[in-house]
Structure 1
Amino acid sequence: MEAAGSGEKRRDLGPLFVGTIFVGSFLAFLVQPMIARMVLPRLGGAPAVWNSAMLVYQALLLGGYAYAHALARLNVRTQSVVHLLLLAAAALLLPIGLIGRVPSATASPAFWVPWLLLLSIGPLFFAVAAQAPLIQRWYAAATGGRDPYPLYAASNLGSFTGLLSYPLLVEPRLPLGDQSELWTGGYVLLVVLTLACAAVLPRAGLDTSDAGYTAEAPPALGRRLWWILLAAVPSGLMLSTTTYLTTDIVAMPMMWVIPLGLYLLSFTLAFAEARGAVVALCRISPLVLLAIGGLAIENAPRQPLLTAAVELILLFVVAVTLHGQMYRTRPAPIYLTGFYLCMAVGGALGGLFSGLVAPLAFDWTYEHPLLILAAAALVPQHYLFVWTERLWESPVRARLLTTLMAVLTIAIAAISIEQPWPWLWGRAGWFGAGAIGLLTFVCLGKRGPFLIGIAGMMLVLGGYDAIRLSLTPDARFRSYFGVYTIRDYDDIRTLAHGTTSHGLQLLTPGHERDPTSYYSPSSGVGQAMLHLPAISGPNARVGAVGLGTGTLACYARPGQDWRFYEIDPTVVHIARQTGKFTFLARCDPAAAIVLGDARLSLDAAATDSLDMLVLDAFTSDAIPMHLLTREAFAIYARVLDRRGMLLVHISNRFLDLEPVVAAAARDGGWYAARYDDTIAPDSEAYRTISSSSWILMTRDAAVLSAAIADPPAGGAWTPLREDPGFSGWSDDYATILPLVKVLR
Structure 2
Amino acid sequence: MNDGVERASVERTRFHWLFVVAILGGSFLLFLVQPMVARMALPKLGGAPAVWNSAMLVYQALLLGGYAYAHWLGRVPVRMQAGIHLAVLAVAALWLPIGLTAMNLPADAEPALWVPWLFGASIGPLFFAISAQAPLLQRWYSVASGGRDPYALYAASNIGSFGGLIAYPLLVEPGLAIKGQSLLWSIGYGLVFVLVAGCALLLPRKSGAEPHVAHHSPPAGRWRVLHWIALAFVPSGLMLATTTFLTTDIVAMPMLWVLPLGLYLLSFSLAFRKGDTIPDLLAKFTPVIVLLFGATLIAGHQKLAYLNALIGLILLFVVAVSLHSRMYQLRPAPDRLTGFYLAMSVGGALGGVFSGLVAPVLFDWTYEYPLLILAAGVLMPQAFLLPALARLWSGEGQILRIKVLAAALLVVVFVWLGILNPGGVLGEMHEQFAFLAVAVVGLIATGRRAAYVIALAGGLFLFGGYRAIETSLSGDRTRSYFGVYTVSDLPDEVRLAHGTTLHGIQLKAPRATMPTTYYVPGSGVGRAMLAAPGLYGPAARIGVVGLGTGTLGCYAVPGQQWRFYEIDPEVVTIARDSGKFTFIRQCVPQAEIALGDARIRLAEATPATLDLLALDAFSSDAVPMHLMTSEAFATYGRVLAPNGLLLVHISNRFLALAPVVAGAAAEGGWHAARMVYQPSALEQLDQASTSDWIALSRDQATLDRLTRGDPQWRPLAPKPGFRAWTDDYASVLPVMRAFHPSLADD
Q: Which amino acid aligns with 1:404?
A: V
Deviation at 1:69, TM superposition (A): 0.5
Matched-pair contact (CA < 8 Å) for 2:43–2:727:
yes
Mark the CA change 1:481 to 1:588 in structure 2 (over 3 Å): closer, same or farther: same
Match of 2:720 in 1: 724
* Structure 2, unaligned runs of 5 or more: 741-746
Give the direction of change, closer, same or farther, for the CA distance of 1:679–1:87 in structure 2 (3 Å limit).
same
Partner Cα separation in structure 2 for residue 151 and residue 378 of structure 1: 25
Tell me which amino acid in the other structure corresponds to 1:69. H
Partner of 2:600: 600
Post-superposition shift, 1:214?
4.9
Letter in 2 for 1:657: L
Q: For the residues of structure 2 that align with 1:288 and 1:478, how far apart are their CA atoms?
A: 29
Please tell me whether the aligned partners of residues 219 and 331 of structure 1 are also in contact (alpha carbons under 8 angstroms). yes
Query: What letter is aligned with 1:678?
Result: Q
Look up the match of 1:611.
Answer: 611
Match in the other structure for 2:743? none
Aligned to 1:240: 241
Find the aligned partners of 1:482 and 1:111 in 2 and give their Cα distance: 23
Does the 8 A contact of 1:382 with 1:445 survive in 2? yes
CA contact (8 A) 2:143 2:210 kept: no
Q: How big is the shift at 1:3? A: 7.5
State the 1:103 CA deviation. 4.9
Match of 2:349 in 1: 348
Deviation at 1:180, TM superposition (A): 0.4
Task: Indicate the SS of the match to 2:695.
Answer: strand
2:696 is aligned with what amino acid?
Answer: M
CA contact (8 A) 1:134 1:337 kept: yes
Which position in structure 2 is the counterpart of 1:707?
706
RMSD over equivalenced CA pairs, Å? 2.3
Q: Which amino acid aligns with 2:587?
A: C
In 1, the alpha carbon distance for the partners of 2:473 and 2:43 equals: 38
Counterpart CA distance in 1 for 2:553 and 2:244 is: 31
Alpha-carbon separation, structure 1, partners of 2:429 and 2:48: 35
Once the two structures are TM-superposed, the CA of residue 18 in structure 1 deviates from its matched residue by 0.9
1-structure distance, mates of 2:580, 2:418: 28
TM-score by length of 2: 0.94
Deviations 1:526-563 (A, max 9, x none): 11111111111111100000111111111011111100
Residue type of the alignment partner of 2:137? I
**Superposition pairs for residues 201-216 of structure 1, below 5 Å?**
201-205=203-207, 207=209, 210=212, 214-216=215-217
Summarize the Cα distance change of 1:487–1:394 in structure 2 as closer, same or farther, 3 Å threshold. farther
Question: How do 1:637-716 and structure 2 match up within 5 A?
Answer: 637-679=637-679, 685-686=684-685, 688-709=687-708, 711=710, 716=712
- Separation in structure 1 between the aligned mates of residue 440 and residue 46 of structure 2, nearest angstrom: 46
Distance in 1 between residues matched to 2:75 and 2:551, nearest whole Å: 64
How big is each residue's C-alpha offset from its partner over 1:190-236, in whole Å with a ceiling of 9 and x where there is no partner?
1111111112211334735548x954322222111111111111111
How many residues are paired up?
A: 735
Q: Which amino acid aligns with 2:338?
A: T
Output the amino acid matched with 2:239: M
Q: Give 1:276 shift.
A: 4.3
For the residues of structure 2 that align with 1:617 and 1:3, how far apart are their CA atoms?
66
Q: Which moved more, 1:586-595 or 1:425-434?
A: 425-434
How far is the alpha carbon of 1:165 from its aligned partner? 0.8
| Structure 2 partner of 1:230 | 231
Looking at structure 1, the residues matched to 515 and 445 of structure 2 have their Cα atoms a distance apart, in angstroms, of 54
Q: 1:103 to 1:506 in 2, by over 3 A?
A: farther
Moved more, 719-728 or 571-580: 719-728
1:99 deviates by 2.1
Which residue is equivalent to 2:390? 389
Instruction: Give the structure 1 partner of residue 66 of structure 2.
Output: 64
Q: Residues 162, 689 of structure 1: CA spacing in aligned structure 2 closer, same or farther, 3 A cutoff? A: same
For each residue in 1:418-445, what CA deviation from the matched residue of structure 2 results, as whole angstroms up to 9, or x when unmatched? 5647995355445423331232122221
- C-alpha change, 1:592 and 1:271, in structure 2 (3 Å) is same
Q: Give the drift of 1:100.
A: 2.8
Q: What residue number does 2:734 align with?
A: 738
Q: How does 1:530-679 map to 2 (within 5 A)?
A: 530-679=530-679
Q: Tell me which amino acid in the other structure corresponds to 2:70.
A: A
Counterparts of 1:407 and 1:703, CA distance in 2: 73
The CA deviation string for residues 597-642 of structure 1, in whole angstroms up to 9 with x for no partner, is 1101111112211110000011222110000001001111111112
Q: 1:47 to 1:451 in 2, by over 3 A?
A: farther
- C-alpha contact 1:3 1:10 (8 A) present in aligned 2: no
In 1, Cα distance between equivalents of 2:105 and 2:436: 51
Letter in 1 for 2:74: A
Contact in 2 for aligned 1:13/1:143 (Cα 8 Å): no
Deviations 1:126-151 (A, max 9, x none): 11000111111111111211111111
Deviations 1:224-274 (A, max 9, x none): 111111111111111111222233333344332221111111111111346
1:66-123: CA deviation from partner (whole Å, max 9, x where unpaired): 1111110111111111111111111111111112345566656565544432232121
Cα offset for 1:44?
3.8
Partner of 2:497: 496
Corresponding residue number in structure 2 for 1:256: 257
Q: Residues of 2 paired with 1:112 and 1:413: CA distance?
A: 50
Would the aligned equivalents of 1:630 and 1:728 in 2 still touch at CA under 8 Å? yes
Do structure 1's residue 140 and structure 2's residue 139 form an aligned pair? no
Cα distance in 1 between the residues matched to 2:656 and 2:109: 31
Change (3 A) 1:132 1:49: same
Letter in 2 for 1:132: A
Cα displacement (A) at 1:466: 1.2
Paired residue type of 2:738: V
The unaligned stretches of length 5 or more in structure 1 are: none
Q: CA, structure 1 residues 322+330, in 2 after alignment: closer, same or farther (shift >3 Å)?
A: same
Equivalents in 2 of 1:102, 1:11: separation in Å? 51
Structure 1 CA distance for aligned equivalents of residues 686 and 454 of structure 2: 40
Map of 2:92 onto structure 1? 90
Equivalent position of 1:301 in the other structure:
302
Secondary structure of residue in 1 paired with 2:506? strand
Query: Which range is displaced more, 34-43 or 127-136?
Result: 34-43
AA matched with 1:704: L
Q: Distance in 2 between matches of 1:206 and 1:161?
A: 39
Q: 1:352-391 to 2 correspondence within 5 Å?
A: 352-391=353-392
For residues 311 and 106 of structure 2, the distance between their equivalents in structure 1, rounded to whole angstroms, comes to 40
What does the per-residue CA deviation read over 1:369-418, in whole Å, with 9 as the maximum and x for residues that have no partner? 1111101111111111122112222341x333322322332332334345
- Give the 5 Å matches for 1:364-513: 364-396=365-397, 398-418=398-418, 420=420, 425=427, 428-473=430-475, 475-507=476-508, 509-513=509-513
Secondary structure at the residue paired with 1:5? helix
| 1:59–1:6 Cα change, 3 Å | same
Query: Using the alignment, how far apart are the partners of 1:45 and 1:479 within structure 2?
Result: 14
Cα offset, 1:285, TM superposition: 1.1
Query: Aligned-pair distance for 1:56?
Result: 2.6
Aligned counterpart, 2:744: none
Distance in 1 (alpha carbons) for counterparts of 2:310 and 2:112: 29
1:159 is paired with a residue whose SS is helix
Identity of aligned pairs, percent? 55
**Residue identity opposite 1:74 in structure 2:** V
SS at match of 1:562: strand
Contact 1:28–1:128 under 8 Å retained in 2? yes
Shift of 1:55: 3.3
Do the aligned partners of 2:284 and 2:384 also contact (CA within 8 Å) in 1?
no
Contact 1:3/1:143 (CA < 8 Å) preserved in 2?
no
CA distance in 2 between partners of 1:103 and 1:619 (Å): 26
Deviations 1:578-604 (A, max 9, x none): 111111110010000111111011111
Question: Structure 1: how far apart are the matches of 2:296 and 2:53?
Answer: 23
Q: Which amino acid aligns with 1:739?
A: V
Q: Aligned AA for 1:126?
A: F
Partner amino acid, structure 1, of 2:736: V
Q: Deviations over 1:347-369 (max 9, x none)?
A: 11111211122122111111111
**Preserved CA contact (<8 Å) 1:75 1:206:** no
